[in-house]
Amino acid sequence: MGQLFLFLTAFCIFAAIHSNEVNGKVIVTRTEVPTEEDGEPVLIIPLDELLKTYDVNATGVGKRQLDLIPLPAGTVIAYVIFATCEYISFWAMDITMKFKEGWLETRHYTDPNDIPGWSKISQNPWFSFSGVPTFTITLGPFDPCTKCHIDSKLQSIEGFQRLGNFTISTDCPCDPGSGQGDPHYVTFDKNHLEFNGPCSYVLTETCVASDFDLKVISTHGEVISRFVNNDVRRIESAKVTTGAHVLDLRDNGVIMLNGVLVTTSVLTQDALVGVQIVSNGTDIIFSASGKWWIEWSKNARNNRNRLFVGIHKDSDLIGKVCGMLGHKQPEDYVHIEGKLPYLLANGSFTDNAQELGHSWEVPGSCP
């Protein structure tokens, strides 16, 4: 039988007794013997690595480049796997169209002594990455630092299937910056502040050279109730810019990606950014290659928007972002005793939340 890279659920698996580090989480994988031995090799590969390594022009995925090599013979499955503090996203793309009439069966559990039955997952009927069969799954919510085990098998109508399993943890530590309420902000350093300016403000942006760029802007809306407090506002919307992509996060869970309304899970052609719809009130925007995520949701109790910005501890953006949410420093960063907590846009520091907010005001955004 030819060289085999066994497919794991909608995603992960390389070779037996092989451990792989994904987004700062250790993925422990193993392969299992296929149920049918047809001798065809199977390659399982992260989608961003596939696009950087192989010439997949024949499938319509990506653009031909001279430094790319031809796809190997057999079956090629590309995958995306990503975890936030609460959710795990799985995406699988059947690049060589061997499972176009097939399905995915999966089961997940946190207790190996309590393994559930299999669930059948159909192809996403509303989204297909570059026209190939695509499976998208969301697991959760879990607590932060939860280890989740996943078993899976991708199956065709002819009975051909590949089995695999892996383990992934939700964000650990779970330390996103956030904004919610009227509005209350929490910085990456866990400093809590209230800022009610009437404009748009840079929450975080790449301010040191990095392989990835990210900019998140929140826009405050009108005063909530002048009878209660003339200054209390809420986060009305947000804008996310990364690479050549712009996402508008609007009220009531509406998301626009490059000017197009998002109605299902979707991934950009360059695989830089994806949107996973978790529920009617919660959406996850993520970059598997940039290793950052944003959760945009509506608080059902007060009907106000919530925005969480997470950057994985092994992201190239660590130590390279600034904004109202502050720096996202490495885990071994030593805080200087007595140093003021908030970094202003001009590079100086303050302990005044109002001064912080106004310094990150977007020019021309005020009513």
> How far from 314 is each of 48, 164, 210, 288, 318, CA to CA, in Å?
17, 26, 13, 11, 7
**CA atoms lying within 13 Å on the CB side of residue 10:** 28
195: which 2 tokens?
């800022």
171: which 2 tokens?
């964000």
Percent of the residues in the chain that have a pLDDT greater than 90, as a whole number: 54
15 has which bridge partners?
none
- The terminus-to-terminus CA distance of the chain in angstroms comes to 68
Task: Provide the pLDDT for residue 55.
Answer: 83
Q: Do residues 43 and 77 make contact, with C-beta atoms less than 8 angstroms apart?
A: yes
Vertex 125 angle, CA 119 and 127, to 5°: 110
Task: Return d(Cα 248, Cα 239) in angstroms, integer.
Answer: 5
Q: Do residues 127 and 134 make contact, with C-beta atoms less than 8 angstroms apart?
A: yes
196, pLDDT greater than 70: yes
* Chain segment 1-31, per-residue pLDDT in tens: 333 233 333 333 332 223 344 443 444 343 3
Mean pLDDT of 308-329: 94
Mean pLDDT of 116-135: 93
Write the CB contacts of 247 (distance below 8 Å, at least 6 apart in sequence): 239, 240, 241, 255, 256, 257, 258, 273, 275, 285
**Phi then psi for 52, rounded to 5 degrees?**
-85, -20
Write the CB contacts of 354 (distance below 8 Å, at least 6 apart in sequence): 195
Domain locations in the chain as residue ranges: 18-169, 177-359
Token look-up 């209390």 returns 232
34: which 2 tokens?
């296929």
Vertex 12 angle, CA 9 and 17, to 5°: 115
Task: Provide the pLDDT for residue 28.
Answer: 37
* Chain segment 44-88, per-residue pLDDT in tens: 888 989 998 988 765 445 444 557 888 888 888 888 889 999 999
CATH 2.60.40.10 fits 18-169, yes or no: yes
297, pLDDT greater than 50: yes
Task: Return d(Cα 26, Cα 147) in angstroms, integer.
Answer: 10
